Structure 1
Amino acid sequence: MKLRKMIFILTGISCAAIIMAGFNTSTPSADPPTRAQLGEKLFFETLLSKDRSISCASCHIPQFGFADTIAFSRGIHHTPTKRNTPGLTNLSGRPNFFWDGRAATLEDQALQPIINPDEMGLPIAEAVQRLNDNEAYLHYFQQVFNSAPNNKNILQALAAFERTLETANSPYDRYIAGDDNALTAPAIRGRLLFIGKANCNNCHSGEDFTADRFKNIGLYNGTTLTDAGRYEVTKDSSHMGLFKVPSLRNVAVTAPYMHNGMFKTLREVIAYYNTPNAVVPGGIHRDLSLNKPLNLTPEEMNDLEAFLEALTDDRFRIARH
């Protein structure tokens, strides 16, 4: 068992190195000359958790689109998070962050996991002190910011790194660029379903496949599903059950899906949208566009899944295989 675990760890490190190289950033041990490279070092830094046991990368795993592989990530003391960990790719143009949209900037987003008592659990003042007490980090921040670490430039560095995590080298991207052979025949059919019969682009539109809106897809019923989503931020009763529409880029490697990680596979997600009432009855204020079953055939569901797979960047597809 120990040998198998060691092989898994070494394989994960190898995949992460390949992926990080694809983003043209430094390795975490390099001397960081830019904000993004300093942010990368901080992203992998366990000093930023209260008990020094985890880093941002513990939950945002590079080879899985900077998402996690379990429904609820584990914070310090193995405490589970409240919601599924979303991927961090293609965030540069987003107007809000987290499933409930509570952060308006990447800098604010970077702060929240650090100070959350169930995640990294470290007050920002203590994080600042730890980095100032570290001779290497004191040097790095002077080099990059001409300043000692403080509660502003720490978050600026992390956000700068996150802005480098852009992906645009998927089979879909090559197909749109004119390579007719980039997509398989099922994926081509799936694309037509995506914008047609399945009506996926009603919510997942634009080059990053998100309309940057909040939608209630029926995963709040007040009994078995009690996370009210956006309502917890705004306290507006009309926002009960609303959650941020995620990007579908790299979706093939970011399972499990939804804010609560309730679907383990893309096929389960498609099956839910095909017949929402059959999967989760009693959803409160579910968007009216989901009231009518899609009536996709099994073959059409296969094709739609093939298209969603094709939205995943090659660096993640290669690492996964």
Structure 2
Amino acid sequence: MTARTDEGEAQATHTWSRLITVALLIGSLAATIPQAFARDCAPAPDGGNPCPVTLIRPPVVPLSAMAKLGKALFFDKALSGSGQLSCASCHVPSAHYAPDNALAFARGGVAMDKFGVRAVPSLTYRERQPPFSVGPDNATSETAPPPPSPPSAKGVKSASNTGVSAQAMVPQGGLFWDGRADTLQSQAAGPLFDPREMAATRTGIAARLRHAPYSADLFRLMGAHASDDMLIAEALFALARYQIEAPVFHPYSSRYDAWLEGQIRLTRDEAEGLRLFNDPSKGNCAACHLSMVDEEGRPPLFTDHQYEALAAPRNPLAPKGSYDLGLCAAGRADIGHTEAYCGFFRTPSLRNSATRKVFFHNGTFTSLRQVMDFYELRDIEPSQFYPRQADGTLLLNDDLPRRYWGNIDKTDTPFGPRKSPSLTPEEREKIIVFLGTLTDGQAPQRK
């Protein structure tokens, strides 16, 4: 048997997703399509959803033999060079497969004396992550538009007018903060072999795979005479299948999911937070963090999978002497070192964001309130976020070389020159309250 390739994983994932969608749509097409295209569904005065939908979720089915093997691998610390780290050490199940600590950079290495260089993302909701591409901005395919923008917001990117600029070619998709991997199989290899993280070697992993408690399961799938390279490729493929198949990685069990289906009412502050989140002249959050079901009736992922340069302040704990340039330095052969992408990082999902303890690619913020304040005040009161130099001048955009400052988003609300923030402090708090509805495990038991 030959080892799985990245292309094989992508094809398997595509086939799995298509089968799920077709099977579910056949039974509920007539009832679901009109609901999935519901427009202007703001919360009712009582917090209810005036146009509930039937969400199309992945079916809960028994894990394949490959996914079961992936689960065993996911929790195996012996795969790491130190013998102390598994995938689950940083992607903690009880923390929605994100870190359960406030470290900006995870500890790793053979002697556990090194640190990664970026904040660890969550592994949830990767089953719908598209591969990297540069193509038309099609964010409207996963969002219903909020109320029309007022004249003052004309020309601003928002969930309601993104389609107007559909010819704009934008980077999107991919895994990691910089989009350097296209599949979960290749993504899994990143931290596994990084000397600052799991610090494994191919020789060490192959030896472990041949003598682990799950080795018999692996050889049943691969055959008794598989080479080391084949074993490693199959192990990475198994890790990918576990993340794609296991419902724990994509439960869609938040209060917001329940609200979309009309099962609960939002509180007054939650409902107001949702309105502000969607309003292109206020939070404008839904311009990038899509908040409505897509055309197939699937729950929103709260990301458009695209990239932005937001000029997050440098984390003092980051390695000194270099800049993290993001997408332009990802080493992708298809875009090379495109300077227009320097400073770009992938827009993360906001699902389970209320339980995170660090934010942005460099972990520079430690609360959602800090994040909201940065969005609102970056261009109004930059001294709150950037350091001063020895001569007292402000060191703006201190984690991006000046020649790339033109890449920074200064046009989309709430950024850009303005006399006052688009959101009051109280309104920012209401958006944070709304973000709490995106935490999984809070929805009523589905029948």
Q: Which residue does the alignment assign to 2:56?
A: none
CA deviations 1:170-221 (Å, max 9, x no partner) are 010011111342x221111111101101000111115101110111011268
Counterpart Cα distance in 1 of 2:85 and 2:440: 27
Gaps of 5+ in 1: 1-22, 27-31, 317-321
Confirm or deny that 1:250 pairs with 2:334: no
2:313·2:385 contact (CA, 8 Å) conserved in 1?
no
The one of 403, 409, 420 equivalent to 1:287 is: 409
The one of 283, 303, 313 equivalent to 1:198 is: 283
The one of 157, 162, 171 equivalent to 2:238 is: 157
Q: Which residue does the alignment assign to 2:374?
A: 272
2:312·2:364 contact (CA, 8 Å) conserved in 1?
no
2:355·2:439 contact (CA, 8 Å) conserved in 1?
yes
Q: Which residue does the alignment assign to 1:139?
A: 216
1:60·1:88 contact (CA, 8 Å) conserved in 2?
yes
* Number of residue equivalences: 287
Confirm or deny that 1:228 pairs with 2:325: yes
Residues 107-116 or 282-291, more deviating: 282-291
1:25·1:37 contact (CA, 8 Å) conserved in 2?
no
- SS at the partner of 2:214? helix
> Under a length normalisation based on structure 2, what TM-score does the superposition of the two structures give?
0.60
Counterpart Cα distance in 2 of 1:177 and 1:225: 48
The one of 49, 66, 80 equivalent to 1:35 is: 66
Q: Which amino acid aligns with 1:226?
A: Y
CA deviations 1:150-175 (Å, max 9, x no partner) are 12210111111122210311010011
Q: Which residue does the alignment assign to 1:11?
A: none
Distance of aligned partners of 1:78 and 1:65 in 2 relative to their CA distance in 1, 3 Å threshold: farther
1:170·1:314 contact (CA, 8 Å) conserved in 2?
yes
CA RMSD between the two structures? 2.6
Distance of aligned partners of 1:315 and 1:300 in 2 relative to their CA distance in 1, 3 Å threshold: closer
> Under a length normalisation based on structure 1, what TM-score does the superposition of the two structures give?
0.82
Q: Which residue does the alignment assign to 2:191?
A: 113
Higher Rg of the two aligned structures? 2
- The runs of at least 4 aligned residues of structure 1 exceeding 3 Å deviation read 23-26, 143-149
Q: Which amino acid aligns with 1:138?
A: S
Q: Which residue does the alignment assign to 1:82?
A: 117
Q: Which amino acid aligns with 1:227?
A: D
- SS at the partner of 2:256? helix
Q: Which residue does the alignment assign to 1:170?
A: 254
2:72·2:214 contact (CA, 8 Å) conserved in 1?
no
Distance of aligned partners of 1:224 and 1:78 in 2 relative to their CA distance in 1, 3 Å threshold: closer
C-alpha deviation, 1:296, in angstroms: 1.0
1:220·1:227 contact (CA, 8 Å) conserved in 2?
no
Confirm or deny that 1:262 pairs with 2:364: yes
Counterpart Cα distance in 2 of 1:171 and 1:133: 44
In terms of fraction of residues, the more helix-rich structure is: 1
Q: Which residue does the alignment assign to 1:208?
A: 301
Counterpart Cα distance in 1 of 2:353 and 2:417: 25
Counterpart Cα distance in 2 of 1:152 and 1:198: 44
Q: Which amino acid aligns with 2:287?
A: N
> Percent same amino acid at aligned positions?
32
